[in-house]
Structure 1
Amino acid sequence: MAGMDEALRVGVVGAGPWAHRVHAPGLYAHPATRLAAVWARRPDAAKALAEPHDAAVVDSFDELLDSVDAVAFAVPPAVQAELAPVAARTGRHLVLEKPLAADPDGARAVVDAVEESGVAALLMLTRRFSPEVQDWLAGVRELGGWQGGTGRWLAGGLLAGDYAASQWRQERDGALIDAGPHAIDLLDAALGDIEQVRYAHRSDDDLWQVVFGHATGATSTLSLSLRVPVQPAVVEFAVYGEHGLAPLVGRRTAARECYAHMLDDLLAMIREGRSDHPCGVRRGLHLQQVLVQVRNAARAQP
């Protein structure tokens, strides 16, 4: 394992669009990390990802683990839930995608492995690592007194383009399991833990309307779809209460910049021997449980 005075050697599992756009260039550009190896089910795809970033292509997951200090996953949730515990139990730190798994049992298995091994692990809830969101959440929490909130996440990402061929994203609940963790996380972080899904409806074209009840007594609503042909995407959040309306405003930090901030946090956790973080695996398990509640509430509708 590399010492903390050396670059952290990271291996990427998966070679899809997000690995190309964010994981590989982000690890390559960060001064304290090195993209050391890539493993994917298609060797040609792994080679296309690895070569521009001076990384090795390996033939197996075990070979990847032997050559790195940390693993970044860019694979479907069910695959991540299978492989991440193996990596954690070999002492490899983790960069995890959302949702953490395909179901709460899989998410809990990742949590157990991370906590038993004591490795650092972060869930790439992209916007949570952006300065504008961190400033907004800090202000919201300092003021308090919020009665409710709203969120709208409307985009056309599943209609065409890179993700049109992503099978797990094209399933019936595609918008909920893809963008849902991001949106739910922001409302939950601003207003307190979501304890109840009071209402959920999914239209035939994958438009979700959800009402949440929070531990603080606040209520929030979410409109969510990745099949609306709007350009640019509509991503809006706000809370309201005794201080009026507090919208999330400011420039939307690019995903690669958020990724760099996430790597900064991961490296600090490793250096300080910490496992706690607002976007750690426990967060992933909580979001996974809320996703199930939303899905069940929607299916209960006549």
Structure 2
Amino acid sequence: MTKQTQQLRIGLIGAGPWAGMTQAPALAGHPDVMFSGVWGRRPDAAAALADAHGTAAFTGDEGIDALFAVCDAVAFAVPPDVQAPLAARAAAAGCHLLLDKPVATNTAAARTAARAAEDARVASVVFCTLRFASQTAPWVAEQAAADGWFTAHAQWLGSLYSDGSDSPFAASPWRREKGGLWDVGPHALSALIPVLGDVTTVSAGRGPADTVHLVLRHASGASSTVTLGLSAPGEAAGTSLVLLGEQGRVELPDGWGDPVASFRAAVDALLEAVRTGQPDACDIRFGVRLTEILAEAEELLVRAAP
């Protein structure tokens, strides 16, 4: 039985740059949320973020369980393969889940977390930004409602590792290890799958640095190509998604808006799932499917390596 109060009590696991920029201010400013606390691996980071938003700080392994005990739901801003086992632990404690993408970079870990959520009957939402941002979410829904798509071309190129980059995310060990496939790949898939259908076949090839190229076939019969990377020159970085079909040529709107507002929309989706008992389209099961597709692409790249 999930713990419940009038306001949903949501805690935050993670006290790094993304938590400070997005999750913490979104939770602190949401009228239907009581921001229950922040857990961080580093006590000073957890304390600083908690103090900034008037909530409690938790640290250490025992602090994780202490945070779960005062929460109805938990948001995550930690590396994916740290997130998945903690999500399973949170679900077992009766907490709903507001997960970051990807859920995990390991298929077994993602599935284990999903089973824990199902067994505990807790709601879940995976924060795929495009599905919650004010400009892009309606666009995805509109294209998903249309028929006759033939093909699509998506490009997600970041410049985290280019000369002169000052991105705080460049210091992230998991991004350095896993590259654009896992960091920005979920963004592309989260927009393509609702429109073109589930991915039925995957081909993958390497480009320069961490860049990868995917060719996907979808359940609708349409195909898509996807280019992903974090090491592009600054002048080459950018995002685009173009759909082609009976509707003509349709392009994803520029700009994703304020990430804090987008995360608040994800919180709203979790609140709705908790209230109605109806799963959100971006729940943990969708997150598992993203992991499965990306893991298949990664395996193809490994096999093809000289």
Aligned pair in 2 of structure 1 residues 269, 179: CA closer, same or farther (>3 Å)? same
Q: Which amino acid aligns with 1:215?
A: A
For residue 201 of structure 1, the aligned residue among 201, 205, 224 is 205
The CA deviation string for residues 133-158 of structure 1, in whole angstroms up to 9 with x for no partner, is 23222332332111100101111124
* CA distance in structure 1 between the aligned counterparts of 2:198 and 2:156, rounded to whole angstroms: 20
For residue 138 of structure 1, the aligned residue among 137, 141, 146 is 141
Question: Match of 1:153?
Answer: 156
Aligned pair in 2 of structure 1 residues 158, 36: CA closer, same or farther (>3 Å)? farther
C-alpha contact (below 8 Å) 1:153/1:234 kept by paired residues: yes
Superposed counterparts of 1:2-81, under 5 Å: 2-3=4-5, 6-59=6-59, 60-81=63-84
The CA deviation string for residues 172-211 of structure 1, in whole angstroms up to 9 with x for no partner, is x3111111111122122221111111x3112351111111
The CA deviation string for residues 233-280 of structure 1, in whole angstroms up to 9 with x for no partner, is 411111111221111125432211111111111111112233x11100
TM-score computed with the length of structure 1 as normaliser? 0.93
| Aligned-partner SS, 1:300 | helix
Q: Which amino acid aligns with 2:24?
A: A
C-alpha contact (below 8 Å) 1:8/1:70 kept by paired residues: yes
* CA distance in structure 2 between the aligned counterparts of 1:130 and 1:69, rounded to whole angstroms: 24
* CA distance in structure 2 between the aligned counterparts of 1:252 and 1:184, rounded to whole angstroms: 16
Question: Match of 2:216?
Answer: 212
* CA distance in structure 2 between the aligned counterparts of 1:143 and 1:176, rounded to whole angstroms: 28
In terms of mean alpha carbon deviation, does 242-251 or 84-93 score higher?
Answer: 242-251
C-alpha contact (below 8 Å) 2:11/2:71 kept by paired residues: yes
TM-score computed with the length of structure 2 as normaliser? 0.92
Question: Match of 2:227?
Answer: 223
For residue 256 of structure 1, the aligned residue among 253, 260, 285 is 260
* CA distance in structure 2 between the aligned counterparts of 1:39 and 1:261, rounded to whole angstroms: 22
CA displacement at 1:227 relative to structure 2: 1.1
State yes or no: 1:105 paired with 2:111.
no
CA displacement at 1:232 relative to structure 2: 8.9
* CA distance in structure 2 between the aligned counterparts of 1:45 and 1:232, rounded to whole angstroms: 34
C-alpha contact (below 8 Å) 2:134/2:256 kept by paired residues: no
* CA distance in structure 2 between the aligned counterparts of 1:132 and 1:102, rounded to whole angstroms: 28
C-alpha contact (below 8 Å) 1:148/1:239 kept by paired residues: yes
Q: Which amino acid aligns with 1:153?
A: W
C-alpha contact (below 8 Å) 1:154/1:230 kept by paired residues: no
CA displacement at 1:19 relative to structure 2: 0.3
Aligned pair in 2 of structure 1 residues 297, 81: CA closer, same or farther (>3 Å)? same
CA displacement at 1:66 relative to structure 2: 1.4
Question: Match of 2:122?
Answer: 119
| Aligned-partner SS, 1:156 | coil
Structure 1 unaligned spans of 5+? none
Question: Match of 2:173?
Answer: 167
* CA distance in structure 2 between the aligned counterparts of 1:227 and 1:20, rounded to whole angstroms: 24
Structure 2 unaligned spans of 5+? none
* CA distance in structure 2 between the aligned counterparts of 1:177 and 1:142, rounded to whole angstroms: 28
* CA distance in structure 2 between the aligned counterparts of 1:56 and 1:154, rounded to whole angstroms: 37
Q: Which amino acid aligns with 1:106?
A: A
Question: Match of 1:265?
Answer: 269
Question: Match of 1:176?
Answer: 181
C-alpha contact (below 8 Å) 1:38/1:56 kept by paired residues: yes
RMSD over aligned CA atoms reads: 1.6
C-alpha contact (below 8 Å) 2:152/2:223 kept by paired residues: yes
* CA distance in structure 2 between the aligned counterparts of 1:196 and 1:296, rounded to whole angstroms: 13
Q: Which amino acid aligns with 1:163?
A: F
Superposed counterparts of 1:235-254, under 5 Å: 235-249=239-253, 251-254=255-258
| Aligned-partner SS, 1:228 | coil
C-alpha contact (below 8 Å) 1:155/1:231 kept by paired residues: no
Aligned pair in 2 of structure 1 residues 232, 118: CA closer, same or farther (>3 Å)? farther
